[in-house]
Amino acid sequence: MARRSHVQTTLNGETVEFLCEPRQSLLEVLRDELHLTGAKEGCNNGNCGACSVILDGRLVNSCLVLGVETEGKSVETIEGVADPDKLHPIQDAFLENAALQCGICTPGFIMSAKALLDENPNPTEHEVRYWLAGNLCRCTGYDKIVRAVLDAAAAK
């Protein structure tokens, strides 16, 4: 077994330290070492977006980032999106629009939508579809997800 490395990073605004093997992805670290299971593994090769997180302001698939690469960086996950007593407008819009069915892809979509609206607060429908094309949903046909993101943009 490879030696575990010590990593210090900022996670949802707070400094955290963890040990991980060099081969462990950020997704594995989040789920197995830090017990934040909101990021999901759907494919483990960057095709489904269920593990989307924001790394130093940039949307990434956490299955394609190594845990050790987050040293000194800032990671934002689904667990950090809502305030303790108030949901984020994107989360509210997903609930109001019934934009989830099974919900396994939902954390990833919300992170992608957040990254989009952080960069482009007033996207067109096409821009939403373009930006979210890296996230697969098999339940909804995307209609209500796209509407939720457009609603969240309008509400901001």
Residue 19 or 72: the one with the smaller Cβ distance to another protein is: 19
CB 56, CB 69: distance < 8 Å? no
**Taking contact as CB under 8 A, which single stretch among the options 3-11, 64-72, 93-101, 115-123 is the one that binds another protein?**
93-101
Among 8, 57, 58, 87, binds another protein (CB under 8 A): 87
Region of 141 please: left (phi>0), alpha (psi -120 to 50) or beta: left
Q: Which residues of 34-64 are buried (b: 16+ CB within 10 A; e: fewer)?
A: bebebbbbbeeeeebbbbbbbbeeebbbbbe
CB of 70 to another protein, least distance (A): 18
- How far apart, in Å, are the Cα atoms of 82 and each of 48, 88, 89, 111? 23, 5, 9, 11
What phi and psi, each to the nearest 5 degrees, are found at residue 50?
A: -70, -15
**Taking contact as CB under 8 A, which single stretch among the options 3-11, 54-62, 72-80, 116-124 is the one that binds another protein?**
72-80
Site size for another protein (CB under 8 A): 58
Judged by CB under 8 A, the chain residues 5 through 64 that form the site for another protein are 21, 23, 31, 35-45, 47-48, 50
Judged by CB under 8 A, the chain residues 96 through 155 that form the site for another protein are 96-98, 100-107, 110, 128-130, 132-147
Residue 73 or 89: the one with the smaller Cβ distance to another protein is: 89
Q: Half-sphere exposure (CA, 13 Å, Cβ side) for 66? A: 13
- Residues composing the chain: 156
> Which tokens go with 132?
């979210």
List residues binding another protein (CB under 8 A): 1, 21, 23, 31, 35-45, 47-48, 50, 77-79, 81-82, 87, 91, 94-98, 100-107, 110, 128-130, 132-147
